[in-house]
Amino acid sequence: EWHQETPPRVAHAFSRTPTPRRLQLNVVGGRGRCSSHDRWSACSEESHISSVEEVLAALPWYRRHFGTDLLIASWLWLLGCGLYLGVSIGALYNDLTATTQWLDFTSSLIFVLACFCLLLSSYPARILKLAEELSRPPRELTCIETYFTSNLMLAATQLFLLGTLPYFAMAVLRVIEAPSGSKEYLVGCVMSVGLVALSPLLLFWSFIAMDFNLRRNNGRGSSYLWEWVSAWGCWGCCGCKNRPFWRRHFGHDSLCTMWVMSAIAVCMETLVLLELLLAPDAFTGFLLVDGAILMTGMCMMLHAVYPENFNHSSIFKEPATLDSPRCESPSAHD
C-alpha cells in the first residue's frame, strides 16, 4: 500500500506514472511470524514502513531482475545484441584487416552498451528515482546533461543513435567497393536507405527522452505527434471517429515510437525469414533467431509502455510485491 504526499504526475521515457515525493511501502512486520505466502500481505494490523529500496532488495533475485515486462524486454534486447556482438568478434578474429569487420564490431559494441544502459533504466527503483526527481522543480542542466546524460534512458537512446554511424560507413564502403549490381552492392544500397529512414525515428526517440519533454503534459511526457494531428484536424479527413481509442494507443510520443519500432522489427524479421527460405545459410539462420529475440523484446517493451502496465509482469501472476499508482489512461483526457 502506497502512502503519498502531494502526488504530482511525472513520467518515464517508457512508463508514465504519478510518483509521490516520498515513496514508502507497508511491509508486513509485526510480532507474529507470517508464512512465505503472506510475507507481502497484511497479516496483522502492526506493520512497519520500509523504503522502496529495502523492499526491492528483499525480493528473490529473479523477481528483482525479471519481475516486470520492461525488465524482461530490456534483457532480451541485451541478449540479442550480445549474441550479435559475439558473432561479430568471431568474424573480426578471422580477418583482422577487414575495415567492414571493424566497423561491424564497433557498432555491435556500442549497441550492447546502449542495451546495458536501457536495462539499468528499466529497474523499478531507477524509474521511481527518476520520477521523484521529475516531481521537483527542474534544475539547471548543462548542455551535455540536457541532450545526452540527464537520465539513463536518454543516454541509451543516444548510444543507439551513435551505433548506427559505423553501419552508415559500412553501407558506403559496400556501395563503393562492390561491383555494381552485385549482392554486396545491393546490400549496401538497402542499408543506406534503411539507416537514413531509421535515423529520424532514433532522433525523435532521443528527443522525447530529454528532461524537458518528460515534464510535459503535467508529467505524462510529450505528445507532439498527437497534438500535431489534432491541430491539423486529420481525424475528420481520415474518417477516424473512435478518437478515445486512438488517443489511448497513440496519445503519447513514447507509444507512437514503440509502435513504429515494433512494426519495423516485425517487417525486418519477415524479410529475413523470406531470405532464409530463398537462400538458406547459417548466418541468415542466426539472424532469424537473433531477430526473433529482439522482436519479442520490442513487442514486450511496447506492452510495457502503456501506463496501466507500469510494473506489470505477464509471467509472475501472483500479487505484485511492488505496486505504484498509475496515471489516468490517455483516453480519459480526450
Instruction: Tell whether the model's pLDDT for residue 29 goes beyond 70.
Output: no
Looking at residue 310, what DSSP letter applies?
A: T
Give the pLDDT confidence score for residue 132 in this predicted structure.
83
165: in domain: yes
Of the two residues 328 and 308, the one the predictor is more confident about is 308
Number of domains in the chain: 1
Residues in Cβ contact with 82 at an 8 Å cutoff, skipping those fewer than 6 apart: 112, 115
Three-class secondary structure assignment of 105-166: HHHHHHHHHHHHHHHHHCCHHHHHHHHHHHCCCCCCCCHHHHHHHCCHHHHHHHHHHHHHHH
Local confidence band at 7 (pLDDT 50, 70, 90 cut-offs) = very low
Looking at residue 222, what DSSP letter applies?
A: -
Instruction: Tell whether the model's pLDDT for residue 278 goes beyond 60.
Output: yes
5: in domain: no
Q: Residue range 71-75: average pLDDT? A: 96
Cell readout for 120 is: 539499468
Q: Residue range 144-155: average pLDDT? A: 93
Instruction: Tell whether the model's pLDDT for residue 9 goes beyond 60.
Output: no
Give the pLDDT confidence score for residue 23 in this predicted structure.
39
**CB-based burial of residue 4 (10 Å sphere; 0-12 exposed, 13-18 middle, 19+ buried)?**
middle
160-164, 174-178, 283-287: least confident range: 174-178
174: in domain: yes
Q: Considering the entire predicted model, what is its pTM?
A: 0.78
Of the two residues 27 and 121, the one the predictor is more confident about is 121
Local confidence band at 224 (pLDDT 50, 70, 90 cut-offs) = very high
Q: Which domain holds residue 222?
A: 61-308
Give the pLDDT confidence score for residue 57 in this predicted structure.
76
113: in domain: yes
* Per-residue pLDDT tens over the stretch 86-145: 999 999 999 999 999 999 999 999 999 999 999 999 998 888 888 888 888 888 899 999
| Widest pairwise Cα distance in the chain | 79
Identify which of 214, 211, 203 has the alpha carbon closest to the alpha carbon of residue 146.
Answer: 211
287: in domain: yes
* Per-residue pLDDT tens over the stretch 284-307: 999 999 999 999 999 999 999 898
43: in domain: no
250: in domain: yes
Of the two residues 67 and 44, the one the predictor is more confident about is 67
Residue 90 half-sphere exposure toward CB, CA atoms < 13 A: 7
Give the pLDDT confidence score for residue 45 in this predicted structure.
33
> In this structure, are residues 127 and 12 in contact, taking their beta carbons and an 8 Å threshold?
yes
CB atoms under 10 Å from CB of 65, counted, come to 14
Average pLDDT over the chain, rounded to whole?
80
Assign residue 6 a region (left: φ > 0; alpha: ψ between -120 and 50; beta: otherwise): left
Give the whole-angstrom CA distance, residue 230 versus residue 235. 7
Which of 55-59, 133-137, 147-151 holds the top average pLDDT?
147-151
List, in sequence order, the alpha helices (H) in the chain.
52-58, 61-66, 69-94, 99-121, 124-134, 143-144, 152-177, 183-208, 211-214, 216-219, 224-231, 234-238, 243-250, 253-278, 282-305
Of the two residues 272 and 42, the one the predictor is more confident about is 272
251: in domain: yes
